[in-house]
Structure 1
Amino acid sequence: MKRTLTTLLAGAGLALAAMTAQAAAEFPSRAVTIIVPYSPGSTDTLARTLSEGLSEELGTPVVVETRPGAGGTVGGAYVANADPDGHTLLFAVSSVQTVAPHQRDLPYGFEDLKPVARVAVGPNVLAARADAPFKTMEEMLEYAKANPGKVSYGSAGTGGATHIAAEAIAKAADIEMFHIPFGGVTPAIAATVAGDVDVVLGFASAILPQAEAGKLVALAQLSEERAQLAPDLPTLKEAGVDLALPPNVGIWAPAGTPDDVVETISAAVAKAVQRENFVKFGKTTLTEIDYADALTFTEVLLAENSYFEWLLPQIDFSQ
């Protein structure tokens, strides 16, 4: 009986391996659908611009579909539970995989999404109202330490990426700030421009134009190194805050997708991000294009996941 069971299990394993190999050999066998888990906007447009080159590189139509809801987790869950054959992909900010599963029960976890390629890194920028009593990151830190809890910051909403990033900055810098949540980054920026909030955090594409117009004062960027699109703006680390939280934008497949399929898609992305229309779009929208293959992207996400697993229990989400 044991020999029969062992034989059956071995046969099942061989059959599964054969099916996986066949799926990899046949990819792509139909159109590829990229799910963007947010409402139409900058991420959606970035995905559609990338899909033009990706379609030509893969030799099959690449369709972009938005499935917004619950901070990106509706679309994340959809892809995590899709057939793992490479024909359904996720295009999102990494918080969908590294943050959201630590905040609440979801129909997917970190291990249910397989990194394919990083496309861009934001970056996020911290800025102050034009008439704030500080004009640099160092001055802001000095002011905040002298006035605990007096510096207010606007976020896109409680529990969102900008809220968490601001709290991470406060913890790394050993300061206290007062959180004011808004229903998105745009109203948070508007309130800061109006002088109702001291500082705000958001993508460079949303912050830097306001700073160039003199309506905000850019204090620091959250990248490891100065991004090419903001070479004159210091990083947090240059200001003495040992923290870098660049928002990684990339592509994921369902867990179980064959490595050969992932490698095929990743190689196609590597070529698509170099196309003239995509490079031009990145410059126009202040998006730092920074491709990373599946292995490198996985390493980045594992480190990011570990950090947020440590950080999130320390944040008060009742505000």
Structure 2
Amino acid sequence: MGDHEARGDDFEKKAEKKLSGWGLFGNKHEDAADLFDKAANSFKLAKNWNRAAAVYIKIANCHLKGDSKHEAASAYVEAANCYKKFSPQEAAQALNQAVNLFLELDIGEIYQQEQDLEKATDYLERAADLFDSEGQSSQSNTIKQKVAEISAQLEQYPKATEIFEAIARQSINNNLLKYSVRGILLNAGICQLCRGDPVAITNSLERYQPFAILQEIDPTFSGTREYKLLAPRDVFHLASKVNEYILQDLAAAMDEGDIAKFTDAIKEFDSMTRLDPWKTTLLLRAKNELKKKEDEDDLT
């Protein structure tokens, strides 16, 4: 362990020297972060968690100097993992720093490549696990919802649906969170629609009818616009009043292969409850899946 700690000291000194220099060539903050990372790994091998955590904080500061929020947040998560070995309070503080940075990120603008999105979900899931271990379910659910959104963006729809439904189940008994449940359930339903698999969608809707899972989670869900956007018409017992409902049924439109009805349902819902960019993107994907099937049918 002594050798590892000595190497850690050496790398840390080199990093500090790099930061104190002029940095005429290259980026001194990036170079210092690389050296600090080697120091942190050495301290971890020496099981000197205090030194390792402190160095990860320095790494985060280097990345913030370079306006690299994702890397800074990742360093805070690493620091939290080290702090957890000896100081839960400091672990929570580092984790809060990481989460704040992660939530500031505009996924659509910053993460252009799939591998970056995968990396983001990895760090976010680790952060959520740490919050869960500290009994901070509200913070954990906020992060998990971001994981679900990214997973859906990566077309990992079953994973996203599972996460959204789990969050809804946990939130319904929380007086502060229960009013967000209908939006979370809508997200879960949209993920199912994006799969574009008639069998999978039918199985899902049968599982929900009359939205059994959703009703179990939130008994008030059947009276919401979100429910009416997703639910098949035949679950509404007052068929004569169907035109009074705010929205047409997306699932029925997809089942019928009716693109016009699908589009009208989205427009009508959006006129009453503005769709955010994430929902808009996924609903467009679902519409494109419907269009593909229509084109395939035209060829047969």
Q: Which has the larger radius of gyration?
A: 2
Please report the TM-score for the alignment, with normalisation by the length of structure 2.
Answer: 0.25
Structure with bigger helix share is: 2
Tell me the TM-score normalised to structure 1 length: 0.24
* Greater RCO, 1 or 2 (C-alpha within 8 Å, sep 6+): 1
